[in-house]
Structure 1
Amino acid sequence: MKAVLKVTPAVGETTWSFLHRVAAAYGLEAGALAGSWRWSNPVQRKDSWRPDGEVLLDEAAQEQLAGWCGVPAEYLAQALPSWGAGREALAGRGGDGQGWARWRRGAAEWGPVVFGCSLCAASRGAGRGRVWVYRPRWRRLCVRHGRWLLDVGEGHPLRFVDVAGLTVELGRALRRWGRVARAGAAGGADPGEVFALARAVVCEWWGRKEFWEREQVWGARLEEVVAATRWWGGDADPVGWGAEQWRLLVRDVVVFPEIVGVAGPLVEPDVRQLVAGEGASGLVRGRDVDARLAAVLGERLKRRWLVELEEDGHGALTSWVRAVVREQRRAIGSRPGQGRGLWWVRAVHRPVEVGAGLRLLAGSPGSVTDAGVCGVQGPVGGGGWEVGPVVPRWEGRSGNLQQRRAQQFAEGLEHARRHVREVGHLALAHTGSGVREGFDLGRWVANRRAEAAALTVEQAAQLRELDRWWNPPWPVDWQRAWYRARAFVDQHGPVDGGSNLAGLPTWLERWLRLQISQYGHLREEQRSLLGELGLTAAEVRRFHAWPGRRRAAADGLEVAGAFAARHGHLAVSKPTCVDGFALGAWLNEARCRQRSAGRPTRLGRQLDAIDAGWNPSWPVVWQRTWWAARYHLTGLPKGTVWWPDAPEPEYTAVWLREQLARRPLLQPGQRSLVEQLLPLAGEAPVWQPRISDAAWRAVSALLPPLSHSGGRRRCERQILEAIVHIACTKTTWRRLPQALGSAWTCQQRFGRWREDGTLERICRARLPEPDTRWQRPLAAWLVSAPHGG
């Protein structure tokens, strides 16, 4: 053998690949080096160049390989993932100093095998030889050379895709994925499973024509990547390839940023709570969850029209929603199910891989799509959309499996037919209570709903013939409740919203009230079904118009949420009414109920999500004044406005100074709130006159003549300024600024002018527009101020 040459391994490289590179550096075949060891299962000739193979070495063989490449074994152990498995697999062999080796498939244990970047490997002594490395699907980018590494053994000669024009965007997505993976691992999720689910969701969109009709980013990426890769020529442009093959090859790199964008929300606890039905309002259920989740994804991906694409209620995203709901039910003590985990992707939703897709394309005259197990046929559309024949599902090694499935469906259909004759519908609960004659019809129907996309047209038609709503796009328990309500209506007549649902059974009244509160969010088909019960849109309006009825909690939450969104808080006084709803009284009742319970009620937790200070342990008027002081110091948040009778800035400044003086008497929570405002308060505001010279000339003529009773006379303009200050700030006379003189004198003059009508004449006088800012508060204060000020 020649003198020792240094060959450095690539990070994540297979030991089999590294052995080939070391042999090539000496001008030898890998078999020449492998012949130095004894093999527990020799490599077959056909596997000698298998790219996804792996070789395990014992300690003696590892020392020999380290000596040939000139790299310490400790470094090799860090770079080669399978390095440490050899000693365990070959334990007990050897002893005479000769190395032992074992051949095995590496992809099954250490992950997918891809072509390494040849430019990076050349600097490590690889020359122009091929390098095979272990890489998960999110680590295929070579940022240094702008290449996206491809899987080995896919049946095509390409080793990479040129993504030099997308390196910045892909690198940003890769860094974002690192944060997503850490967040998922912290929540107990395996990053590989999270990525697989997000990839299945995005690849479903890739295969849908409706997506491409609105998508504006993927088409440009697709064209750029294909053009850059074909520019290399030679093997980079395989003979006979068309647009279908290229779309399949570059799919993962084109959609990688969107995969990361989908994976991010899925691992967030807030999104999980929303899906589990414990979101902000506490009323998120069934199909609303799908719509809200699609809205979240659309907002994150800047594709708000995703909500419309997810309306069909089938796919990997919907399956994940159901898995989260099942997990939540198990968490609260229900019986465990038989699912395969939260992040498991059903076979029907897994995207077609490159190798399998290319083989299908090679055997068909058309093209292949990636929409799970089904494709769409049609003409070429805009935005890079191209369609082709349906990708068939795997039906087993023979036709017996397909025949057996047909027999099982026929058996279940017969049981379903009997049930419909007895009950009239197929809205069965997914429990063991529906077992009859040894057949669990409830579970069978639930499985058919989960696999609705895989049913044949004939099978789906047979189920619809038995029950039109056997697989509704809303929760099955809603449909089951509707059938129960219809049975009551058939016997006693339709419901009447004008009677405030009086005389109905408790279960029906509660269910109908819930439907009325959520009527605006129901689907059109659900509203039609409610109309068959008598609860039409007109009856819903009559129900809302019923005088003095008790409003449902959902109505109060909706009004409270709208008020908080408009004004920023729920510290409202008891007389407050919003659109005919007594919000103040309703909140006061909720406060009394929670305080008497001694713990947060369910309604209280929902109100906490709207405003954490809705139920303070101190007076609500104090909390309302604190909000006013905060907004005067920091400005109104975007989208909020001042509420009626909000305190003026001068009053809140005086109030804040008073709270600082009373700090030892305040509760700890009050002290904390006051301390939040002190750094913003700054120095106390200096009093500024409000009455302009033009207004004083008009008002001075309305004042009564001066008396000549002796003594020092006060300036009447100063006294009027004092009265206006009290009216605008709603403060007391004892808090009158020193610049306005004696509070006792001003209070006495206020009583005299009020009795003789002077202040009323001033309020009715025509003044310049700036002076109406103090004229209107003065008029309002005269009505509410006590006699004598």
Structure 2
Amino acid sequence: MAAGVLRTVPLAGELTASLISRVAARYGLPTAGVLQLWTCRNSPARHDGGGTRADAEVVLNGAGRRVLAELCRVEPKVLARALPAFTMDDPKISTGREAGVAQARWRAAGTVAGPAAFGCRLCVARRTGQALRAVRYLPRWHRVCLRHGRWLLDADADQPLEHLDVRGAAEVVAAQRRWPGVARRAVRAGVEPEQAFTLAHAVVARWWEQALSWEQEEIWPRRLHQLAGGNAGSRLAWWRIVGRDAAIFPEVVAVAQALLEPAMAEVAWQASGGMRPRVRSADDAFCHRLGERVGRTWLGPELAADRGSPLNGWKGAIVRARRHETGPPGWREDPWHLKRERQPATMAGQLRVLAAEARSGGSGTRWRTTVSAEQRFRITQLVDEAREQLVELRGVHSGTTAEVARTLLEHLSHSAELIDQALVHTATAAVAAGVPLEEAAAWSRLPSQELAEVLAAGEGED
């Protein structure tokens, strides 16, 4: 097959590999057969179970692009506008003696042009006449098909669904309609919309994990069951992973909008004590206001108690800027910067963990299987609180000797106390999960007898 007879129209933002698959289907051929038109010396990414990932992408060299254009009967410039990866060069195939041979190289879509999601099949059929699977580069703030009421799922995860039905979750659709306005507000504020969304998503995804222990939370359970077709049933853990981003989307948009408002920055400043810092209390005005913005008037104390939230970085940057506090040389204070360790786990990553736990059969060989979510959260919370104490010491070496010494010693002693508590909680969980006391003691750098006494004292307090 040198040149195509049938015309295959590309979709905006479509993966090149997705277009090739649709071309093959149009001719009634297997995708592997059509891929033989290009020389390829590597393989597509696969799931742990062996299946090819839906977000596997191909990058073509110049000769390879011409082959695809002829095959689709579409001008190269049209393909270049529609396919983000079409004009991307890979030196391994675009240079050298074989550069004139049509070549392709497999890549993961995320390393080419960002996150990939399944396209809405109804929209694909309407646009191309083919009711086939398509995969497109779609940012996570543009996942609702407004025409058909579908949430388009990540394409890199090992699960069978392409979309979730959000026609019964009107607030999810409404949030998608509101997002362009939030994005415009971000641009006016000098913030990249992607940064605003990413930070808000990290904040709310953390709430999603904590919500398991929120007795007053009623919105998310109801919404998740709607996304699951009425009832998540015995697969609640699976649905909490697959449905998370759709379920929290309205709150993510609301938080992003709130953080972009100067009035909220002012509330954060006043709640911090302004130029006279004070310890955050359960009635923190900023946390209370944010809870109201997401329709949960009771949420303020829960947020105030969370010392490890990505939200704290935003608030800290706002407050330090107003206090004219400076960090180390070269430090750039950016309220919207999200550290890698604060980024929430992806659906694909969580499903891999869930599958590994299922394979272990609850034998105690995996931490998440044997240690409860409450214990894991408490350990994480203690570590995050200790980190927050240390972060607050940035730029502390200015002032009188007494002031600096007092600040350093108070924060260091508090963080050390928190780390000690985290160590005890971790050791307790490890021993309860079957780790020998001697090994836990060695890893804790404590004598076995001393650790045994500490654990016994902890049990007595409970």
1:299 aligns with 2:292: yes
Q: State the AA in 2 paired with 1:308.
A: P
Q: Deviations over 1:690-710 (max 9, x none)?
A: xxxxxxxxxxxxxxxxxxxxx
2:335 pairs, out of 342, 361, 367, with 342
| Residues 1:324 and 1:109: Cα distance change in structure 2 (over 3 Å) | farther
Q: Secondary structure at the match of 2:168?
A: helix
2:82 matched residue in structure 1 = 79
Give the Å deviation of 1:56.
1.9
Give the Å deviation of 1:87.
8.1
> Alignment identity in percent?
34
1:50 and 1:201 map into 2 onto residues whose CA distance is: 29
1:443 and 1:141 map into 2 onto residues whose CA distance is: 51
CA contact under 8 A between 2:187 and 2:193: conserved in structure 1? yes
- Superposed CA RMSD in Å reads 4.5
2:171 and 2:235 map into 1 onto residues whose CA distance is: 27
Give the Å deviation of 1:17.
1.3
CA contact under 8 A between 1:430 and 1:442: conserved in structure 2? no
CA contact under 8 A between 2:379 and 2:425: conserved in structure 1? no
1:160 aligns with 2:175: no
Q: State the AA in 1 paired with 2:237.
A: E
2:135 and 2:222 map into 1 onto residues whose CA distance is: 30
1:458 matched residue in structure 2 = 424
Give the Å deviation of 1:263.
0.7
Give the Å deviation of 1:295.
2.6
1:114 pairs, out of 96, 114, 117, with 117
Give the Å deviation of 1:289.
11
Counterparts of 1:711-730 in structure 2, within 5 Å, are none
1:187 matched residue in structure 2 = 189
2:442 matched residue in structure 1 = none
1:46 and 1:197 map into 2 onto residues whose CA distance is: 29
2:409 and 2:336 map into 1 onto residues whose CA distance is: 22
1:23 and 1:450 map into 2 onto residues whose CA distance is: 62
CA contact under 8 A between 2:14 and 2:136: conserved in structure 1? yes
Give unmatched runs, 5+ long, in structure 2.
363-367, 387-391, 402-406, 428-462
Q: Secondary structure at the match of 1:165?
A: coil
1:264 aligns with 2:264: no
CA contact under 8 A between 1:94 and 1:100: conserved in structure 2? no
1:253 matched residue in structure 2 = 246
2:416 and 2:140 map into 1 onto residues whose CA distance is: 28
Give the Å deviation of 1:157.
1.5
1:432 and 1:75 map into 2 onto residues whose CA distance is: 59
1:203 aligns with 2:205: yes
1:324 and 1:281 map into 2 onto residues whose CA distance is: 11
Q: Which stretch has the larger CA shift, 54-63 or 134-143?
A: 54-63
Counterparts of 1:682-697 in structure 2, within 5 Å, are none
| Residues 1:279 and 1:271: Cα distance change in structure 2 (over 3 Å) | farther
1:35 matched residue in structure 2 = 36
Counterparts of 1:13-412 in structure 2, within 5 Å, are 13-39=14-40, 42-44=41-43, 49-86=52-89, 92=95, 98-125=101-128, 127-166=130-169, 168-209=170-211, 212-227=214-229, 242-276=235-269, 287=280, 291-314=284-307, 315-329=309-323, 336=329, 338=331, 341-346=334-339, 349-362=342-355, 363=357, 377=372, 390=376
1:25 and 1:347 map into 2 onto residues whose CA distance is: 42
Give the Å deviation of 1:13.
1.1
| Residues 1:358 and 1:98: Cα distance change in structure 2 (over 3 Å) | closer
Q: State the AA in 1 paired with 2:189.
A: G
| Residues 1:92 and 1:63: Cα distance change in structure 2 (over 3 Å) | same
1:11 and 1:450 map into 2 onto residues whose CA distance is: 53
CA contact under 8 A between 1:202 and 1:259: conserved in structure 2? yes
| Residues 1:391 and 1:217: Cα distance change in structure 2 (over 3 Å) | closer
TM-score by length of structure 1 reads 0.44
CA contact under 8 A between 1:431 and 1:443: conserved in structure 2? no
Q: State the AA in 2 paired with 1:77.
A: A
Counterparts of 1:330-729 in structure 2, within 5 Å, are 336=329, 338=331, 341-346=334-339, 349-362=342-355, 363=357, 377=372, 390=376, 431=396, 442=408, 449=415, 456-458=422-424
Give the Å deviation of 1:37.
3.4
1:454 and 1:190 map into 2 onto residues whose CA distance is: 39
| Residues 1:121 and 1:320: Cα distance change in structure 2 (over 3 Å) | same
2:277 and 2:374 map into 1 onto residues whose CA distance is: 38
Q: State the AA in 1 paired with 2:152.
A: L
Q: Secondary structure at the match of 1:64?
A: helix
Q: State the AA in 2 paired with 1:322.
A: G
1:574 matched residue in structure 2 = none
Give the Å deviation of 1:45.
7.0
Give unmatched runs, 5+ long, in structure 1.
231-239, 367-372, 378-386, 395-404, 410-426, 436-440, 462-789
1:655 matched residue in structure 2 = none
Give the Å deviation of 1:251.
1.6
1:195 and 1:447 map into 2 onto residues whose CA distance is: 36
CA contact under 8 A between 1:51 and 1:153: conserved in structure 2? yes
Give the Å deviation of 1:355.
3.0
Give the Å deviation of 1:328.
4.1
CA contact under 8 A between 2:317 and 2:334: conserved in structure 1? yes
